[in-house]
């Protein structure tokens, strides 16, 4: 009898229907009217066994969510300290994903990101730390703005950053009791982001604390982390950012951050991307639970070095923001923001956007979302299109004279930054011929240069700064 769950024998297996690959399977169960219940399940697909925690969703409702990543029949069995939640079994069939569902984003080859189905993911992030703690109207507006924007990732804090936020995650100061409507709203908004194909880079801790979150005990912090993973790991667009500016959270130590990573890694059946963002002190991104580098930096010329050192994708999540506030981290021109995207992308990394124009609502977009007023998003959209049209898996050269990304023998994209050469001698392989375009990153023009080029050749250039040059193998 060993190895076969009793309930299976009892024939109580529920058929819970179909779910698409990387879609969310969800079941609800009735249980005790309190949250302190252990409740989890094992999911089986052939010989694979995957564990997922369930969570309490208020009013005696327990939910179990799961994101199947393989086609075919899956079965599940629940385990709980509460009789009513224990030994529930069932099955479902995982079907092919619908159009536009490419699965979660994963690390491709030590440098790139792609979706689980192999589609390249050109990560173009933005930042709205507190957007999911606003009024329904404002949150709706943020989603509408995102819909028309080039951004496919958003950094957002789970815990509120504002004084007296409109939505609160805990019942009063009791960090052991979750305020369920807060999370139900977050569910809705993460699902809305997913529908827009925007990755939700969920920031689990941060130092901008008016509500005492930093004082959460270890036990409370761990419980919160497990709850977050139980609730959100089944959303395919979720990433885990353990913290924003972790080194400014004075009450926590490095071993604690390491522990948080391990808890998330252990609890998450879907292995979503994991990183952490710093202020001054680099976290050791070589630690094996870190999937990619989430940097606050504008040292784009270090990308090559860091790529070879860490063998992980690099995202300059914060390289200062377009805006006009008095802090120097929030008053770049749109031009400079666009330039930084090009610098980062041409160095082989990804870059994040943020916007901080002073206005009646404070630093609107960066914290609350709403509308974008800056000039960089249009240019970022232009850049994104160029990268999406490029062959996937572009390589970088470790110490380039001018930064460029390339696919040998087929595609070369140079960014000349503030340099304004009137001509430049390119050295490409002799075997193929290339056509070339001069790209004006600000005016968003792509101008073909007449002629076909091969080997070592001198290309005439406009002698203006902030141009890129694209060389593509002639058909």
Partner 1 sequence: MTNEVHRWDQFEIALRGPEGVSVSAEFRLQNRSVRVDGFYDGDGLYRIRFMPDEEGEWTYTTFSNRRELTNQSGALQCVPAGEANHGPVRVANTFHFSYADRTPYRPFGTTCYAWAHQEQALQEQTLSTLRHAPFNKLRMCIFPKSYVYNQNEPPFYPFPRSSDGTNDFSRYNPAFFQHLEWCIRSLLDLGIQADLILFHPYDRWGYSKMPADVDDRYLRYTIARFAAFRNVWWSVANEYDLVKSKTMADWDRFFRIIQTSDPYGHLRSIHHSKTMYDHGKPWVTHCSIQGDDFGSTQDLLSRFQKPVIYDECKYEGNIPRRWGNISAEEMVRRFWLGITAGAYVGHGETYLDPHDVLWWSKGGVLKGQSPPRIAFLRKLLESAPSEGVNATSVYYQSAGQKGKYYLYYFDLHQPKDFQFELDNSASYSAELIDPWRMETTPLGGSYKGKFSLQLPGKPYLAVCFRAV
CA dist 463 → 230, 423, 440, 445 (Å): 56, 7, 12, 15
Binding segment for partner 1 (CB under 8 A), chosen from 125-133, 204-212, 219-227, 331-339, is 331-339
CA 363, CA 330: separation in Å to the nearest integer? 9
Instruction: Pick the binder of partner 1 from 42, 271, 336, 375 (CB under 8 A).
Output: 336
Q: Which residues contact 403 (CB under 8 A, 6 or more apart)?
A: 300, 301, 343, 346, 347, 396, 414, 415, 417
Does 427 sit near partner 1 (CB under 8 A)? no
Closest distance of CB 463 from partner 1, Å: 4
Does 358 sit near partner 1 (CB under 8 A)? yes
Does 331 sit near partner 1 (CB under 8 A)? yes
Cβ closer to partner 1: 191 or 449? Answer: 449
Alpha helices in 114-234 (DSSP H): 136-147, 180-195, 218-232
Cβ closer to partner 1: 114 or 339? Answer: 339
Binding segment for partner 1 (CB under 8 A), chosen from 49-57, 92-100, 322-330, 448-456, is 322-330
Closest distance of CB 451 from partner 1, Å: 18
**Which tokens is 83 given?**
């009789």
Binding segment for partner 1 (CB under 8 A), chosen from 70-78, 203-211, 214-222, 417-425, is 417-425
Interaction mask 181-200, partner 1, x per CB under 8 A: --------------------
Cβ closer to partner 1: 310 or 329? Answer: 329
Cβ closer to partner 1: 49 or 422? Answer: 422
Does 423 sit near partner 1 (CB under 8 A)? yes
Closest distance of CB 419 from partner 1, Å: 5
Closest distance of CB 398 from partner 1, Å: 17
Does 280 sit near partner 1 (CB under 8 A)? no
Closest distance of CB 325 from partner 1, Å: 6
CA 421, CA 412: separation in Å to the nearest integer? 18
**Which tokens is 427 given?**
């050295």
Cβ closer to partner 1: 262 or 335? Answer: 335
Cβ closer to partner 1: 407 or 464? Answer: 464
Cα dihedral 108/111/115/117 (nearest 10): -20
Instruction: Pick the binder of partner 1 from 421, 435, 437, 449 (CB under 8 A).
Output: 421
CA dist 352 → 5, 176, 337 (Å): 48, 34, 9
Closest distance of CB 195 from partner 1, Å: 35
Alpha helices in 27-178 (DSSP H): 136-147
Does 418 sit near partner 1 (CB under 8 A)? yes
Closest distance of CB 462 from partner 1, Å: 9
- Judge whether 383 and 338 are in contact, CB under 8 Å: yes
Closest distance of CB 331 from partner 1, Å: 5
Sole residue written with tokens 């109207």: 137
Each as own residue / partner, the long-range contacts of residues 358-367 (CB below 8 Å, 24 or more positions apart, any chain) are 358/323, 358/324, 358/325, 363/323, 363/325, 363/330, 365/126, 365/128, 366/127, 366/128, 366/129, 366/321, 366/323, 366/330, 367/128, 367/129, 367/130, 367/131, 367/161, 367/162
DSSP state at residue 270:
T
Does 58 sit near partner 1 (CB under 8 A)? no
CA 33, CA 57: separation in Å to the nearest integer? 10
CA 394, CA 371: separation in Å to the nearest integer? 33
Instruction: Pick the binder of partner 1 from 49, 96, 100, 401 (CB under 8 A).
Output: 401
Cβ closer to partner 1: 59 or 326? Answer: 326
Q: Where are the beta strands (DSSP E) in 264-305?
A: 274-275, 293-296
Does 47 sit near partner 1 (CB under 8 A)? no
Cβ closer to partner 1: 250 or 328? Answer: 328
Cβ closer to partner 1: 86 or 331? Answer: 331
Does 425 sit near partner 1 (CB under 8 A)? yes
**Which tokens is 32 given?**
């005790």
Q: Which residues contact 330 (CB under 8 A, 6 or more apart)?
A: 320, 321, 323, 354, 356, 363, 366
Instruction: Pick the binder of partner 1 from 93, 168, 325, 373 (CB under 8 A).
Output: 325
| DSSP three-state, residue 454 | strand
Cβ closer to partner 1: 98 or 458? Answer: 458
Cβ closer to partner 1: 185 or 331? Answer: 331
Does 164 sit near partner 1 (CB under 8 A)? no
Q: 383, 385, 408, 382: which is closest to 395 by C-alpha? A: 408
**Count of residues binding partner 1 (CB under 8 A)?**
26
Report residue 175 CA to chain centroid gap: 26
Does 402 sit near partner 1 (CB under 8 A)? yes
Closest distance of CB 303 from partner 1, Å: 17
Residues that bind partner 1 (CB under 8 A): 323-328, 331-333, 335-336, 358, 401-402, 418-425, 458, 463-465
């Amino acid at each position: 009898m060993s190895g076969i769950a009793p309930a299976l024998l009892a024939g109580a297996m529920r058929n819970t229907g179909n779910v698409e690959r990387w879609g969310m399977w969800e079941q609800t169960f009735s249980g005790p009217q309190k949250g302190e219940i252990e409740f989890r399940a094992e999911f089986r697909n052939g010989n694979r066994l995957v564990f997922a925690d369930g969570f309490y969703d208020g009013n005696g409702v327990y939910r179990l969510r799961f994101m199947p990543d393989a086609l075919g029949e899956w079965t599940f069995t629940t385990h709980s300290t509460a009789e009513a939640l224990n030994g529930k079994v069932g099955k479902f069939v995982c079907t092919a994903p619908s159009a536009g569902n490419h699965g979660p984003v994963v690390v491709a080859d030590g440098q790139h990101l792609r979706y689980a189905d192999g589609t390249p993911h050109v990560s173009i992030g933005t930042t709205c730390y507190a957007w999911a703690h606003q009024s329904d109207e404002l949150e709706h507006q943020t989603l509408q703005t995102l819909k028309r924007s080039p951004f496919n990732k958003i950094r957002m804090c789970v815990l509120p950053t504002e004084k007296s936020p409109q939505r609160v995650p805990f019942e009063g100061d009791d960090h052991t009791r979750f305020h369920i409507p807060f999370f139900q709203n977050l569910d809705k908004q993460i699902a809305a982001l997913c529908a827009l194909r925007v990755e939700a880079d969920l920031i689990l801790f941060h130092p901008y604390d008016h509500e005492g979150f930093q004082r959460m005990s270890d036990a409370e912090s761990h419980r919160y982390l497990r709850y977050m993973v139980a609730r959100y790991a089944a959303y395919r667009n979720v990433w885990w950012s353990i913290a924003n500016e972790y080194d400014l959270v004075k009450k926590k130590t490095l071993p604690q951050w390491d522990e948080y990573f391990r808890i998330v890694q252990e609890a998450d059946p879907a292995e979503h991307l994991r990183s952490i963002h710093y202020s001054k002190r680099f976290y050791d991104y070589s630690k094996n639970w870190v999937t990619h580098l989430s940097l606050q930096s504008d040292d784009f010329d270090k990308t090559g070095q860091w790529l070879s050192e860490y063998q992980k994708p690099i995202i300059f999540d914060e390289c200062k923001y377009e805006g006009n506030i008095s802090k120097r981290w929030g008053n770049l021109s749109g031009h400079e923001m666009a330039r930084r995207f090009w610098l980062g992308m041409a160095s082989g990394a990804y870059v994040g956007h943020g916007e901080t124009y002073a206005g009646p609502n404070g630093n609107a977009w960066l914290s609350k979302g709403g509308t974008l007023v800056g000039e960089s998003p249009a240019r970022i959209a232009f850049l994104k299109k160029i990268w999406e049209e490029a062959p996937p898996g572009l390589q970088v050269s470790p110490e380039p004279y001018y930064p460029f990304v390339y696919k040998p023998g087929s595609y070369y994209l140079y960014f000349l930054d503030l340099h304004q050469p009137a001509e430049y001698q390119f050295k490409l392989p002799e075997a193929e011929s290339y056509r070339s375009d001069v790209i004006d990153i600000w005016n968003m023009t792509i101008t073909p240069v007449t002629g076909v080029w091969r080997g070592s050749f001198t290309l005439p250039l406009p002698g203006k700064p902030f141009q890129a040059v694209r060389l593509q193998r002639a058909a």
